[in-house]
Structure 1
């Protein structure tokens, strides 16, 4: 008997299971590794005494695959996967992607568009009135009416579109067990309306006693100002039940679930994961290869970048595992047969937030960013715990190197006045290049992004270069820049190109802003409004301007010469065309 959870009736029989308590349907291949959400949720439920089966990447054009494991006793759980299914399927230019990193062999075509909705409807077709609980990043970011970039329209809550009974948003361990206990106790799914971290549909508000009303679906589809107002309330209000009205009822969101305490987080990562893709697959799952020898240390992010959905999904309460728990996982990695001595990452949404604390006696606020435009007085910098953790992992027998590949927030790193973190980083945790994301250089664009000023990036680079030289290592920073973010004009794009020219480093790739549900920047993109100030924001939307901004980041590439020249003429910057070190292209 292998240690994976059941994926067939034969697996169930081998384990003496006549009927599963839950069946989890996922758009990803079945990978039993703690970097995959379906693995965490299924293992967590199993640890609490519930039997769980997995249906991974079902054939969705009929109901056959959804009946593979029979009818579960308590209900179906649905996740589109670790990525939003639309982002997984389509590039920012809305072209179909050739690969799916969460499928065996990277093969595309294993999941449908809007997977959560498709799976829920097929399960309803197969089993009728059975509890259906949706969760994961796709559902979490669509819990209210939201702008859909792919259809260029505002779609209703995914609860309304899918017909699911409950939606779990955020990191779902605590609410999913509460739901399981309620169903196991005989409570009808329609009566499970009290669990934090969940949302549900209701025909009326007779059982909702205290709440805050959002602009209705009818209002947000007819008024962009109403949409912006609704989004800001959804993003910031974490203390009230929120309600949005639809034609045939209401979507009700309970307050967020409290983040797991450290001992609970340690427990999650101590569960008996196989740390591998199911042996049914003949080819490797590329997404696993990226994280197989990495360790998740933190959850949550105080960065609150406008283009990132982490704040809306996970929140900005940063929690971290104990050092003992992480070291035990490192020791476990050394015992794996393919481990070569290299731990690829010890981090999370932002690696160096390990140990950060908010000391506001009133609790963490939701109305301002912790780091920009300047550090909040209640934010307590703490790189010491992370440094000590990394030293302990480096000392584990069998570990040769420990790298940090998840994000480094450089403005936060600069708060370490001793400089010890940057020295440790340069001496021990970088392999040739350190990837950082300054994103832009324009003060106004960076403000809208929620990113620090470019001078902080430059200061960090200076300190990193000095630390690398002191450690006798040839290393450099690889910057990532973003084009066409809300607020970014063609003039701003030219300003960025001049900065790239002056630094003498040409980025290997350019990232075009991708408007995905649940981000402040997507709200700006759709409404043309900065919802934090109510002021208008310039939005680059035409294909031509977007291609111009993207090409300016890589102005030296021969393939971009024609469009860069056109962009410079359009911006009135013919002074950058010609011969000489200050020119971007030749005439």
Structure 2
């Protein structure tokens, strides 16, 4: 501040992450944008909440305090699906844990109120965005109030916040009181009554008492998360009402370019050098964000609730200029690691009507079948990749942010897939079938497993044609709501038939704001009102996870238990179709060419499984 001749800040931005000046990190984007609009901004990155020194070091800001927990929800950052403490924190110096408090947004806001009373206080980021209404909190196993109420903030910015923070900052600068900033799209505020014409969802008291009320509230709220057709939503919390204005309008290409053309240093702050830097930068240091939004609409993903379903893309010019900056960095080795967004091959809105009419309220663009109006053209993305590949100093351009294979198959541009295999896959392409059970995939909002198998056949055929040895690595989720133990057995059999046992399996984590989390808590499909099975105990989850890694010796007892619980002793033995060997002392019996445990009822058939049985 002294070097810049500033006697005071306009805004103090308080973040739960170590500071990384890179456009993949929300605090950097918001602060660089404010700077570009002429505001004086200071950043308190991971302030020590046990003292007040870090909060006071730059003085009271003139216009307001901005608070974010960082790039992740602070509880998800700390705890695993089993509620065990994580050993590392990628957003902290050297990956060390313990640099942020639990429920960081609330803790930081309480300190701001303690220090500066009624100063304008605005919260944002993923934690605030996804906890904006009454929500189920997995880590405390209870329904919590809107974080707007618990934090005592004046405004909550949800979604990507550039439009909102600009309007808020300019109106505060022009002398308006923060209490008057109630009609800004993409924000929530407190009120005494529900605005006329708003969608009123069941109150906090109702959703705490009644899981069906919780499911109904989520369904009503979820339908309005569209910037074109969405309405104001309100939810009573005692004598107050949380009012959510409609989502912010999508950024234009010029506005997106402005955000990403700003002078980011693209590095963690040098004050972290002695600790080893901020590990999260390594995944994105040589990656490029090409767009925002995702019309994949997976039930377990919170991207739709945060970024929306309407794609907002940067221009080729902006992306190429960023790529040139990467090639000038001393540590650049010729490889751009990723060009994409939530889904790499979504570069434009899924259909032409979205920008005028919004997304469809009662159907998905891709699942269970692609919409007849879906625009599946990949030429823009293909042309972008070709331009990047042609830049001096660029050896390879990879795609790591994931592709939707059903979107590729829905189109007719097979040239894209062949070029993808030839030029943009580094031996492994990660895709996300997630499961194989029709009922589970339906609840997930994913296409049938047959679509994945068809894509795999084409992928293998293309790689044989171009003489490349490349593989698909499927992402899988165990214990998703609706997934029974028999569904997990079916998935294990599919993995056996594919000759693939995953190194890592993601246990479903109920994060705030997603449809799947609503299903987990209520054991209800909110769209139909029907009850569903949910694996909730640690042992139930362990059984499902073990089946997906059935060849690991440490999982053997759990796999045996799961198979017997399902009456699938035919998968215990020495035959080609078996998943696991019997215990010592059991006498295998040969019948019809298959070796089986003496307790088995019948043999099965299936292709030879690769790898040894535990």
2: distance between equivalents of 1:512 and 1:209?
42
Deviation at 1:356, TM superposition (A): 4.1
Kept in 2: contact 1:32–1:278 (CA 8 A): yes
Match of 1:314 in 2: 307
Task: Give yes or no for the alignment of 1:35 onto 2:24.
Answer: yes
Match of 2:177 in 1: 188
Match of 2:351 in 1: 358
Deviation at 1:416, TM superposition (A): 2.7
- TM-score after normalising by structure 2: 0.92
Q: Which moved more, 1:547-556 or 1:283-292?
A: 283-292
Match of 1:263 in 2: 254
Kept in 2: contact 1:356–1:381 (CA 8 A): no
Q: Give the counterpart of 2:580 among 567, 578, 585.
A: 585
Q: How does 1:268-417 map to 2 (within 5 A)?
A: 268-281=259-272, 282=274, 283-360=276-353, 362-417=357-412
Match of 2:457 in 1: 462
Kept in 1: contact 2:378–2:413 (CA 8 A): no
Match of 2:599 in 1: none
Kept in 2: contact 1:22–1:53 (CA 8 A): yes
Match of 2:609 in 1: none
Task: Give yes or no for the alignment of 1:20 onto 2:9.
Answer: yes
Cα displacement string for residues 184-225 of structure 1 (whole angstroms, at most 9, x for unaligned residues): 1111111110110000112345xx343121111111111111
Secondary structure (helix, strand or coil) at the match of 1:445 reads helix
2: distance between equivalents of 1:35 and 1:302?
20
Task: Give yes or no for the alignment of 1:484 onto 2:475.
Answer: no
Kept in 1: contact 2:377–2:413 (CA 8 A): no
Deviation at 1:362, TM superposition (A): 3.4
- Runs of 4+ residues over 6 Å off in structure 1: none
Cα displacement string for residues 41-65 of structure 1 (whole angstroms, at most 9, x for unaligned residues): 0000111111111000010123222
Match of 1:7 in 2: none
1: distance between equivalents of 2:34 and 2:413?
44
Match of 1:106 in 2: 95
Task: Give yes or no for the alignment of 1:216 onto 2:203.
Answer: yes
Q: Give the counterpart of 1:131 among 106, 116, 120.
A: 120
Kept in 2: contact 1:555–1:564 (CA 8 A): yes
Kept in 2: contact 1:62–1:122 (CA 8 A): no
Kept in 2: contact 1:63–1:123 (CA 8 A): no
How many pairs align?
Answer: 574
Match of 1:235 in 2: 222
1: distance between equivalents of 2:380 and 2:74?
37
For the aligned residues, what is the CA RMSD? 1.0
Secondary structure (helix, strand or coil) at the match of 1:280 reads helix
Kept in 1: contact 2:435–2:477 (CA 8 A): yes
2: distance between equivalents of 1:356 and 1:409?
14
Q: Which moved more, 1:466-475 or 1:572-581?
A: 466-475
1: distance between equivalents of 2:360 and 2:333?
44
Cα displacement string for residues 527-553 of structure 1 (whole angstroms, at most 9, x for unaligned residues): 010011111111111111100000000
Secondary structure (helix, strand or coil) at the match of 2:410 reads coil
Q: Give the counterpart of 1:90 among 79, 91, 103.
A: 79
- TM-score after normalising by structure 1: 0.97
2: distance between equivalents of 1:293 and 1:465?
29
Task: Give yes or no for the alignment of 1:244 onto 2:235.
Answer: yes
Deviation at 1:469, TM superposition (A): 2.2
Kept in 2: contact 1:445–1:488 (CA 8 A): yes
Secondary structure (helix, strand or coil) at the match of 1:540 reads coil
Deviation at 1:121, TM superposition (A): 0.4
Q: How does 1:3-82 map to 2 (within 5 A)?
A: 12-82=1-71
1: distance between equivalents of 2:179 and 2:349?
39
| Uncovered stretches (5+) of structure 1, i.e. residues with no partner | 1-11
Kept in 1: contact 2:405–2:455 (CA 8 A): yes
Kept in 2: contact 1:355–1:383 (CA 8 A): no
1: distance between equivalents of 2:539 and 2:302?
27
Match of 1:557 in 2: 552
Cα displacement string for residues 409-443 of structure 1 (whole angstroms, at most 9, x for unaligned residues): 11001123231111011001111111111110001
Kept in 1: contact 2:310–2:349 (CA 8 A): no
2: distance between equivalents of 1:197 and 1:511?
31
1: distance between equivalents of 2:541 and 2:113?
42
Q: Which moved more, 1:317-326 or 1:550-559?
A: 317-326
Match of 1:4 in 2: none
Deviation at 1:357, TM superposition (A): 3.3
Deviation at 1:314, TM superposition (A): 1.0
Kept in 2: contact 1:356–1:382 (CA 8 A): no
Cα displacement string for residues 486-535 of structure 1 (whole angstroms, at most 9, x for unaligned residues): 00000000000000111111111111000010100000000010011111
1: distance between equivalents of 2:348 and 2:421?
20
Deviation at 1:355, TM superposition (A): 2.8
Match of 1:5 in 2: none
